[in-house]
Amino acid sequence: MTLLDETPPEASDARGRVAELRAIREQVRRGPSDRATEAQKAKGKLTARERIDLLLDEGSFREVEPLRRHRATGFGLEAKRPYTDGVITGWGTVEGRTVFVYAHDFRIFGGALGEAHATKIHKIMDMAIAAGAPLVSLNDGAGARIQEGVSALAGYGGIFQRNTRASGVIPQISVMLGPCAGGAAYSPALTDFVFMVRETSQMFITGPDVVRAVTGEEISQNGLGGADVHAETSGVCHFAYDDEETCLHEVRYLLSLLPQNNRENPPAAHSDDPADRRGEVLLDLVPADGNRPYDMRRVIEELVDDGELLEVHERWATNVIVALARLDGQVVGVIANQPQSLAGVLDIEASEKAARFVQMCDAFNIPLVTLLDVPGFLPGVAQEHGGIIRHGAKLLYAYCNATVPRISVILRKAYGGAYIVMDSQSIGADLTYAWPTNEIAVMGAEGAANVVFRKQIADAEDPEAMRAAMVKEYKAELMHPYYAAERGLVDDVIDPAETREVLIRSLAMLRTKHADLPSRKHGNPPQ
């Protein structure tokens, strides 16, 4: 008699059930069909499970509700009830830290959202909020499932509500790896960061066919809502890459710079870059002549650990730089004017870009370092009619509302209202430093002299010589490097080569900073 023959009937039945479960799980793992997988690959796209494997640490993914099926009937759905219902949900780790994820499976109903599909996403979002861990969505779906009607639309409402509830509580990252049209596009817009892949991902509210029918304009899907459009023109996309592998690798890198939630600090890392490393090259990078451009990104690279930074919105509103980096192993958010683009002025888009970044850093306990070289706000009818006052106020509000450590360094120009808005001491910067090349004033010397000494210049025998003399006098009296320091508007004038050490020591002192805001339901920021 064999061992199998000796097995009680109940145990034998249990073994059969386990074998059945294993077969079902293998079916779930493989997906709907080889043909559907081949079609996905033909588009140059990975499958949902391949994407999850690239995002998370090997072997760490734990799936939630893999056996979920829709319960809809009619319109042919009753004959097709695949497991997962077109979305894979669960959690795993990135560098050992918990991350929740959901990934649309385009092979099933084109990744379209139905009632069961939406309920799975709602559940994993609720779990992420409760656990206090980041949520990453891997988006590749065709919108609402038409066959399920209003039930599908209501599913999006539940996602939006949870996006809003999680905002500023846990990091939310949207990775666009396929189409995202109509109301579905609003979920990524509510999250903290949006990644896109060129050629294969698109986002738009109304597609090319609708645009053509309504306006007569002819445009392709990528021309309307591709990665480059949203990275350069609309500002919807924060990061754009050529392939999914690079994109998901960069998502992992971003997660390494963010805390798990708003109750934690960002993860510290060991740095071999000496805290007291001098930056002599800074003296050559930044010309003393305020009219000469230079690359502020090179300045930031010289200051931060090992020259590494993750620039956010790199190709949109390029007159201001916002980036995450480390100083002595501690994560900081850097906001800096870029003299190579529009001379570093603030305009509508730059103000919005910097304001959103400041708010994100403040929400997740990331100290702010602001590098100023700003000649003012961009003048012009288009800017005024476009609401530069309203949009500039967004940046002002964000800085004034921020309670994280805030340090400003004035490299060269800091003129007018733009100087005040860029985290000046008067709006709450904890420490303000200036280089010996700084010029802090209401406006440039030439413009100021034309206003202040208008009569003397007009009455002079040689107006140009008088104007030159008045400019020189104004600079000597009101724009010399120590004028602001003498009046306590900057805390110190420092050697540029010592900037890294000064920032690190100052941030170490501010690490225990505590600031309370007035009791209120929420503010009413300018929109």
Say how many C-beta atoms besides its own lie within 10 A of residue 281's C-beta: 13
334 within 8 A of 372, measured Cβ to Cβ: no
The closest alpha carbon to 422, from 506, 490, 523, 354, belongs to 354
Residue 133 among the catalytic residues? no
Measured distance CA(322)–CA(433) in Å, rounded: 19
Please tell me which residue in 183, 279, 387, 447 is annotated as part of the active site.
183
Residue 183 among the catalytic residues: yes
Q: Within 13 A of 253's CA, how many CA atoms are on the CB side?
A: 17
Residues in a beta bridge with 94: 97
Is position 429 annotated as part of the catalytic site?
no
Q: How far apart are CA 74 and CA 85, in angstroms?
A: 16
182 is catalytic: yes
Residue-wise DSSP of 85-146: GGEEEEEEEETTEEEEEEEE-TTTGGG-B-HHHHHHHHHHHHHHHHHT--EEEEE---SB-G
Angle, helices 388-401/348-363, rounded to nearest 10 degrees: 20
**DSSP H/E element including 201:** none
Please tell me which residue in 168, 386, 387, 417 is annotated as part of the active site. Answer: 417
Nearest-angstrom CA–CA distance, 477 and 452: 13
Q: Which of 325, 343, 418, 484 is catalytic?
A: 418
Helices and strands, counts by H and E, the chain? 22, 17
Show which residues are catalytic. 182-183, 417-418
